[in-house]
Every structure is written in structure tokens, then in C-alpha cells.
Structure 1
Amino acid sequence: MENLCGYAQDDLAVPLLTEAAIAGEPVDLRALNDHAAAWCAEVNAAVHSEICAVPDERLVEERTVLKALPSLRLEIGAGSVRRKVDSLSCIRYGSARYSVPQRLVGATVAAVVDHGALILLEPATGVIVAEHELVGPGEVSILDDHYDGPRPAPSRGPRPKTQAEKQFCALGPEAEQFLVGAAAIGNTRLKSEIDTLLGLGAAHGEQALVDALRRAVAFRRFRAADVRSILDAGTGTPQPRPAGDALVLDLPSAPTRSLDAYKIAGTSTDGTAS
């Protein structure tokens, strides 16, 4: 089980969250579930290294020996529970916080889980007052409609503290994207690698370092050794570009005639001239 969790984390979670961190876009639970379903379909259709068989095909064979579960099995899933709305217009469920309209501060609401969503209702009327996607323990799901106005957008950029970090971030957005990507892949040597990168900038020039960082971010390479390799390769490396628009031309039309017009007269059916 631990090996499976590690495989899913390295092959599914880390690339997906790295892409989201670089793009600066949040990834909601529904999108994660869609990517996980597609990933499961891909790996279950390939030969497994341990059983030397395709899991989807092996499951079809194993179904013939599977038996029905006992009728007195444990109930799966949580039923309706009551929660009191606190002064922040939130309730706690599953060690997470969910917002409700401010008019319900101090009141009690019913919480029901339905298909991956948390539905909050007024117990007396059964009216739905809020609906959230389930989030993990310690996380918060806040809807701006429940408050007077929208929350200010959080700053997800790096916060330099040391002089070396401030000098590196002063290189521009390429340096900040590089730091975000390095943190997303779990690079624990950022402090020493920033010093290495600044040394590369002093040796090759600031603009060359910025160009190398831009290329490293484009190819998802977030270590100082990768930037060094890009600088060593020089400026003659290929520069991939996205595909352009389709070229549509109005070509002139030419008159055509039947192939019978090119038939040689006086030729018999056996191909000899008459």
C-alpha cells in the first residue's frame, strides 16, 4: 500500500500540482478526481510489474471467484449531523471549516454529504443554505457570497528574506517561477542553489541567466545543475514554439474533364492497336 501511495504521488500528484503551482491556478477537488480517474484507467490498462498481467483483465478473471459481502456489513459514509455556526460564519466538519451566510451566525445547521459535496441545510425548513466541495482536514472552503464582499486574492509568490533571495528574485518573474517550481517538486537545497545560480549569473551575465531560467521553467527543470547545463549548451539550442494557426488559402479553380477524353482512339480491348 505504501508503494502504491508513493507511485501515485510521484506519477500523478507531483506533476499535476507542479503544473498548477507554476501556472498560479488553484486545483479543486473535482479536477483532482478527474485526473486521478484518467490516471487509474491508464495504469490499469498496462502490464503490472508484480503480477505480470493487465489489472483490468485480471479483475475480469477474479470476479468469477468473488463472493457477495455479508448483509450485516458496516455502514459507509457519514449521516446528517448538526453544527453550530460560529462568529466567523463558519461551521466545522471533518476537521475543516465551511462558510455559511452571515445571517445564520449562532444558529444550528444540518450537514449532509452527497457525492463528494457538503450540503448545509436549515433543520426546520430543509432549505439548502450552502453547498461546498469536501476539502481535507485543516483546509477552509469560503464562498464570497456569504460575506459582504470578495476576499482579496492571496499572494502565492515567493517571499524573499535573505539578501541572496532578494537579489535572485530581483532578476524578474522568471526567477520567481523557478523558485515556485523548485518548491513544488520538494527541492530542499534552495538556499545553497540560489547562491550557485547567482554565481552563474556573475560568470555568464544576468541576461544569460534569465534566459536560462526561462528555459528551465519551460522544460520543468528546477535545479541549479539544470540551469548550468542550459548555460553550457549556449544559444544554439532549439527553441520550441507552440503550433500556429492553420494556413488557409483561396486556391484558384481549374476546369477539368473526364478521363475518357484522354482515351487513345482505335485501341482494342486487349490493348493492341487496331
Structure 2
Amino acid sequence: MTEVNSRVHRETRRLPAELLPEERLRLHPVPEQPFTALFGETRRFDKDSTISVESVRYSVPHELVDERVWVRFHGDELIVTAMVAGSAVEGARHSRSAPGSPRIVDEHHPDAPRGERTPRATNPAEAQLLAIGPEAAAWLVEAAATGVRRIRAKMGDAVALAKPHGTADVDRALGTAATVGRFAEGDLLSIMDHQGEHDRTDPIRRGEAHSLQPGTSAWSGFTTP
């Protein structure tokens, strides 16, 4: 810079070092902070490390808790921007989703992996469900992670079943439903009926080697012409 600014410019016939003070009087200073309008809409999130965009929950790194972030869609992706040490950085990027299908990244919760997080009630419906027992909390975590539809109505069904049947039986059934991934309408009542008729056993989860297709052992009696 010293070499260039000390050399006579061929157009102005003057040293750039002499013109710079005059040019500074006519130039607008660069803002200390970037214009945030291009980052999208503002969002704030708290202890659960998620934000809501178009009724969909997206996770954001827990280090940004209580910070303001900006969100915008770029094609089929949601981009989360945050200010760190005065500079704009990309906080997270998710595939666009629909209501009922949250986008949660376990790495955004390093101190509590998905399977170990204890949910906190954010509304009266969740508080009533979590009051049933620890298995109800496991059901809520798995249902939210799976993107179960009409989850609030199903929470209400579980609370209603706990009144005539007791919280212990409903809590046990919720734990089974969470383990085997049964979140459809009527699944909870079906599990409770089954558990009422049979002794308590661990749910059976078939491995990849199991198949309902018939085997080929019967073919051994055929001969090739």
C-alpha cells in the first residue's frame, strides 16, 4: 500500500496518499454492525435450544441460548444466522420441514443426548401428561422426535385414560408405545388391553433377519429337468 499510494496516479496526476483525506470526507463510513435485514426474520430461543419457524421446531446450538438469531429459507433449506463476537456466522442449517415433523440435531444438545433429555412442560396439556410418570416423559420425547401428528390430542387421550385406569397402567403402556414406536390412534388403549390380559414382558423387537415371508425349504423336492 505504501508503494502504490506514494506513486503518482496516471489519471489524476496526483499521489493517492494526498487524495485519500479528501475522499474520506465524501465517503460514508462502513457500519460497525452488518445490516441484519438480509439475514431474515428474528427469533429468540431458550433452554430447549429450538426455535419455531412456520409452526415447525428447529434445533439450534445450545451455545446460542438467550441470543437473538435470524432465520431465512434458501431453497429447501432453513439457515440460522447469529452474531458472535460482532460478526455474523451461520448457526445452523436444516432441511425444510412441515408442521408435526421437527428437525432436531443431537449435537445441538451435547450435554443431553436425545434419549436422555427430560422434557419440561411448556403448556398445561404437557404438564398433565408428564404428571403420569417417567414413561410418559419418554413417550413425549420419542413422539416429538418422530414427528407424530395430532400429538396434543393423543396426549389428552392418555390423560383421560389415566382417570379410570390409574396412572401406573397408563404410564407402563406409554413406555411400551415409546419403545416399539406405536403412536397411532388407539395404540395406547390396545397396549393397555394386551398388558391387562398377559403377564408383563419386555416388548419384542424383530431384527432385520426376521421375515414374514415363507421360506424356500419346500423347493428342495423339485428337480431341474
Verify same fold: TM over 0.5. no
Higher strand share: 2
Could you state the TM-score of these two structures normalised by the residue count of structure 2?
0.39
- Normalised to the residue count of structure 1, the TM-score between the two structures is 0.33
